[in-house]
């Protein structure tokens, strides 16, 4: 009999589909994209900062003059031209030939998201454990969930992942007989907190993982978007064995092209290509040509400086507005780069429960629960500053602060409704406030 449930195919799905949930961020897009809503929720780069006329002309030529090749099938690993350009980009961060970076070990992917999925497909069996910062990137949580693995969060502070907590987590899981496959980390301008792993801790984290026999999956979408000097060298610039380096052009050029990459240990490269071919056959030749041509013919290094200045101004606008308008008891990070600020709320406030009232006040953010595998983080939220202009950012904070003040007033009158259970249930839920960051 059909039509009796919301989903007539429930009993036919594979086991790995059970428990799949919609992304907290994707679920917000339909509402947050309305023009009357100030969205501090997404992570969209400010594409208008690009020289769009020149980019448009370049894209047109790729079709009209080079369409015979750019619109054709390609190889699964990605074009050699783009892989060579990717090595040039990585060399700016210290990942160069001296530390074993080669076009032969680069695999082009459909954005950073496919890169994550490929690593998960290669290494994760059902029941395996992934260690990750708490909180961490919501898209990674979805990938690991689809692989039927368990994410165990490692606490952070103002200097990033806490090495002692990493050692403790590894030891506890070993005693429990759990199989830990790798550490997933965003060490530079982390999503969602904006925190950067300190120089000293980078070496300690690598040493701990090496002793434990853990692979390291380093996700670095934001490393070239620093506002205050150079970021510490990536983990892959320090160690070549056992470190997978993932990045993307979505934040430094154009997310619509969906071009990312993995720099993998040489022995794994072929398996990544085979897995990618099984998924997509080959990455888009047109998108690859667009990125390679952009890197080869346009002043992309200068464009990075433009992005940095735009984002620094908008970060400052957000931080200034929060300092002026947020109610007492609110804390937040002060990122030195990237796209995000992580805010912890006054005691008793629940960012997820408050979301409908914020939308009614025409402001959007991402509740902290989306960045934890176990649904904790209700006492926190992620705020994005890359897309709205400074005046809209301030207006968004004004609206959000008003909603929070109303919530605080209601609690004073009616007491706790549902409490804040689980707010600090996960170690690291209260990632640093301004006094720490």
**CATH number of the domain that residue 407 is part of:** 3.90.1150.10
Domain boundary among 297, 320, 351: 297
pLDDT at 29 (0 to 100) = 65
pLDDT at 375 (0 to 100) = 87
pLDDT at 220 (0 to 100) = 98
* 116 assigned to some structural domain: yes
* 203 assigned to some structural domain: yes
pTM for the model stands at 0.91
Let me know whether 138 and 258 are in one domain.
Answer: yes
pLDDT at 425 (0 to 100) = 36
pLDDT at 4 (0 to 100) = 53
pLDDT at 13 (0 to 100) = 79
Q: What is the CATH number of the domain that holds 106?
A: 3.40.640.10
pLDDT at 229 (0 to 100) = 84
Domain boundary among 297, 327, 353: 297
* 379 assigned to some structural domain: yes
Let me know whether 382 and 255 are in one domain.
Answer: no
Let me know whether 184 and 113 are in one domain.
Answer: yes
Residue 298 has, within 13 A of its CA and on its CB side, a CA count of 20
* 423 assigned to some structural domain: no
Let me know whether 28 and 83 are in one domain.
Answer: no
Let me know whether 125 and 36 are in one domain.
Answer: no
* 437 assigned to some structural domain: no
* 366 assigned to some structural domain: yes
Let me know whether 146 and 262 are in one domain.
Answer: yes
pLDDT at 233 (0 to 100) = 96
- How many folded domains does the chain comprise? 2
Distance CA 397, CA 317 (A): 10
Let me know whether 134 and 207 are in one domain.
Answer: yes
* Count of C-beta atoms within a 10 Å radius of residue 307: 19
Query: 258 and 111 in contact (C-beta within 8 Å)?
Result: yes
Domain boundary among 270, 297, 324: 297
pLDDT at 422 (0 to 100) = 40
Let me know whether 195 and 324 are in one domain.
Answer: no
Let me know whether 230 and 328 are in one domain.
Answer: no
Let me know whether 29 and 134 are in one domain.
Answer: no
User: What are residue 52's phi and psi, to 5 degrees?
Assistant: -65, -30
pLDDT at 26 (0 to 100) = 62
* 9 assigned to some structural domain: no
Distance CA 275, CA 268 (A): 11
Let me know whether 56 and 39 are in one domain.
Answer: no
pLDDT at 435 (0 to 100) = 38
Q: In a structure prediction context, what are the per-residue pLDDT tens digits for the chain, which is 437 residues long?
A: 455 557 777 777 787 776 566 666 666 666 667 788 999 998 899 999 999 999 999 999 999 999 999 999 999 999 999 999 999 999 999 999 999 999 999 999 999 999 999 999 999 999 999 999 999 999 999 999 999 999 999 999 999 999 999 999 999 999 999 999 999 999 999 999 999 999 999 999 999 999 999 999 999 999 999 998 889 999 999 999 999 999 999 999 999 999 999 999 988 999 999 999 999 999 999 999 999 999 999 999 999 999 999 999 999 999 999 999 999 999 999 999 999 999 999 999 999 999 999 999 999 999 999 999 998 999 999 999 999 999 999 999 999 999 999 999 988 888 765 444 444 434 344 454 433 43
Let me know whether 253 and 333 are in one domain.
Answer: no
Distance CA 164, CA 112 (A): 29
Give me the domain span that covers residue 216.
52-297
**Pairing of the two strands 215-219 and 243-248:** parallel
* 106 assigned to some structural domain: yes
């Amino acid at each position: 009999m059909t039509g009796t449930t919301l989903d007539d195919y429930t009993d036919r799905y594979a086991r790995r589909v059970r428990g799949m949930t919609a992304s907290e961020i994707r679920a917000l897009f339909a509402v947050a994209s309305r023009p009357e809503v100030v969205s501090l929720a997404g992570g969209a780069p400010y594409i208008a900062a690009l020289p769009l006329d020149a980019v448009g002309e370049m894209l047109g030529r790729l079709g009209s003059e080079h369409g015979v090749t750019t619109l054709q099938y390609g190889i699964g690993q990605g074009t050699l031209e783009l892989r060579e350009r990717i090595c040039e980009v990585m060399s700016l961060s210290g990942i160069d030939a001296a530390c074993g970076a080669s076009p032969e070990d680069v695999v082009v992917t459909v954005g950073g998201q496919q890169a994550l999925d490929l690593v998960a497909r290669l290494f994760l069996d059902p029941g395996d454990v992934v260690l990750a910062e708490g909180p961490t990137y919501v898209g990674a949580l979805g990938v690991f969930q689809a692989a039927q693995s368990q994410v165990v969060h490692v606490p952070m502070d103002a200097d990033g992942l806490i090495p002692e907590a990493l050692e403790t987590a590894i030891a506890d899981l070993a005693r429990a007989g759990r199989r830990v496959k790798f550490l997933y980390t965003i060490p530079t301008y982390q999503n969602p907190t904006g925190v950067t792993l300190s120089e000293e801790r980078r070496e300690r984290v690598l040493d701990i993982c090496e002793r434990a026999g853990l692979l390291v999956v380093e996700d670095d979408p934001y490393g070239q978007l620093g506002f205050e000097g150079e970021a510490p060298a990536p983990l892959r610039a320090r160690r070549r064995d056992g470190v997978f380096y993932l990045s993307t052009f979505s934040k430094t050029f154009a997310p619509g092209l969906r071009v990312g990459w993995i720099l993998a240990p040489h022995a794994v490269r072929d398996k990544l290509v085979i897995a990618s071919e099984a998924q997509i056959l080959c990455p888009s030749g047109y998108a690859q040509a667009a990125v390679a041509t952009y890197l080869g013919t346009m002043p992309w290094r200068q464009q990075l400086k433009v992005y940095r200045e735009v984002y620094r101004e908008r970060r400052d606008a957000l931080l200034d507005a929060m300092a002026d308008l947020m109610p007492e008891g609110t804390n937040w990070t002060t990122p030195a780069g990237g796209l995000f600020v992580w805010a912890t709320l006054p005691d008793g406030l629940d960012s997820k429960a408050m979301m409908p009232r914020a939308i009614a006040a025409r402001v959007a953010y991402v509740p902290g629960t989306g960045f934890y595998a176990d649904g904790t983080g209700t006492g926190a939220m992620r705020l994005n500053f890359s897309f709205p202009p400074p005046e809209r950012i301030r207006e968004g904070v004004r609206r959000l602060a008003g909603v929070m003040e109303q919530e605080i007033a209601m609690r004073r009158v009616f007491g706790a409704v549902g409490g804040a259970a689980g707010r600090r249930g996960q170690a690291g839920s209260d990632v640093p406030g301004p006094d720490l960051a």
